[in-house]
Amino acid sequence: MTPSTMREMADILRNAGIPVTLQRVEIARVMLSQHTHLSADQVLAKVQQSVPETSRATVYNTLRLFREKKLVRELIVDPERIVFDSNTDPHYHLYNAEQGTLIDVSADELQVVGLPDLPPGLQLDEVDVIIRVRDRKP
């Protein structure tokens, strides 16, 4: 990690009100230095490449913390695992279950029209759109 990345990640954490630790900076580097879609185990594997003294529990704890602070979103697209998305702008997803690939679709291209009125006492949280595709079988 370059010094500037280190500093950038630490700043993101502080701005979010998260006390800075080595493991959190490292998890931030993996998740937040570019847009990605990663499962908790994928994050663990990447973090352990640079900081082997990182436990699975810390990764789960930290990802939950990041989610609460809105640094990442949880995507529920596959029953096997939760995917964490570091793109927090409004957007949708194209998912290929066979390959496990997940691609962002900007909210500029794709829109949802005709959202129903919500029953009173409810407020909109978010709208997920998942375009599920598969390999064309000839």
Partner DNA sequence: GTAATTGCAAACTCTTTGCAGCATG
Partner DNA sequence: CATGCTGCAAAGAGTTTGCAATTAC
Q: Is 45 in the site for its own copies (CB under 8 A)?
A: no
Pair of tokens at residue 12: 């993101």
At 102, which amino acid appears? Answer: L
Q: What tokens does 7 get?
A: 């500093």
Which residue's structure tokens are 């003294």? Answer: 53
The answer to whether 130 contacts its own copies (rule: CB under 8 A) is yes
CA distances from 43 to 34, 82, 118, 124 (A): 13, 12, 37, 30
- Judged by CB under 7 A, the chain residues 2 through 41 that form the site for DNA are 18-24, 39-41
All residues at 6 or more sequence positions from 104 whose CB lies less than 8 Å from its CB, including other chains: 35, 87, 91, 92, 93, 94
Q: CB 52 → DNA: shortest distance, Å?
A: 8
Distance in Å, CB of 55 to DNA, minimum:
3
Q: Which is nearer to its own copies, 11 or 74 (CB)?
A: 74
Give residue 20's Cα distance to chain centre: 19
Q: Which of 56, 99, 127, 132 binds DNA (CB under 7 A)?
A: 56
Residue ranges binding its own copies (CB under 8 A): 74, 76-79, 82, 94, 96, 105, 109-116, 118, 121-136
By CB under 7 A, name the binding residues for DNA. Answer: 18-24, 39-41, 53-58, 60-62, 64, 79-82
